[in-house]
Amino acid sequence: GVANTTLKRRFDIAEATPDTALIERRPTGYQLTAAGHNVLTILEEMESVSLRLSSSFDGLQRGVQGTIRIAAPDVFGNKFLAPRLPMLAQAHPGLEIELVSTPRSTSLTKREADLVVTGSQPQTGRLHTRKLTGYEIGLYASRSYLDAAPPVSNRADLHHHPLVGYIDELILTPEMNSLRLLNPELKARISCTNILYQMVVIKAGGGIGILPCWLAEEEESELVRILPGDVVFERTYWLNLTSDMRANPTIKAVRDFIVEQVSLSRRLFHPPNRK
């Protein structure tokens, strides 16, 4: 919200005080110098304190209200979180909720979201991270496909079946491509950008693919798990927020709601008698 001329003038003043260049001016734009990076680290700490102060005042004055943005993977956001958000909205009438999918990484430090559910634990940033739940993923096919296809008795048999998986060049992280982790020689005949698309293809008889077991359990009348004792991958959902926003009552209320809903659904993610 600051005009370019005002910003430039403030940079000139900041650089004149210690007589040190903070930004390097290039034909393609501006880049921070080493001194600029050091100053940025201090400014981020100042921002963190300011946000905690603002959050504290907001909590005292408003309680749980305002707009909060939750970023989540397609499957978790679509199939688990979205159906439960009306309960959250009903419990807090002053709350406006935004749910966005995360086809790419979402930055908490850049305020692109207030809470982010991820499939891996972030290793950098001033973040507060907690494990939501673990879950299994495994091989699935439709009943109609298996009735007409050759039997699958072991991993080697997969070479004789059409497979459903990710598009290699559009995959976010290598560990998402479970087919390749299963066997580097396996290649999908039908490739999709996300699990929801893949599940639709598998249900339609397009072949065999790897799905989260908790998602496939809801389609048990149509989907059958293959090689359950052999092909098992463990995955984890993590809930992340910036450390300086932990005390914000609105964020805390939404965080607690998500944690509670996952806890109440533990049998969904960990069925006692999965075959």
SS3 112: coil
**Mean pLDDT taken over the chain:** 84
pLDDT band at 275 (very low <50, low <70, confident <90, very high): very low
User: Does the pLDDT value for residue 95 go beyond 90?
Assistant: yes
What DSSP element (H or E) covers 116? strand 115-118
Per residue in 151-184, pLDDT tens? Answer: 999 999 999 999 999 998 877 776 778 888 888 8
248-262 per-position pLDDT tens digit: 889 999 999 999 999
Query: Which of the 8 DSSP states describes residue 193?
Result: S
Taking residues 183-188, what's their average pLDDT? 89
pLDDT at residue 61, rounded to an integer = 46
Nearest to 67 by CA among 45, 39, 38, 100: 100
- pTM of the predicted structure, to 2 decimals: 0.71
- 80 close to 265: Cβ distance less than 8 angstroms: yes
* Of 64, 59, 115, 58, the residue nearest 92 (C-alpha): 64
**Where residue 272 falls among pLDDT bands split at 50, 70, 90?**
low
Question: Can you tell me the mean pLDDT for 230-252?
Answer: 86
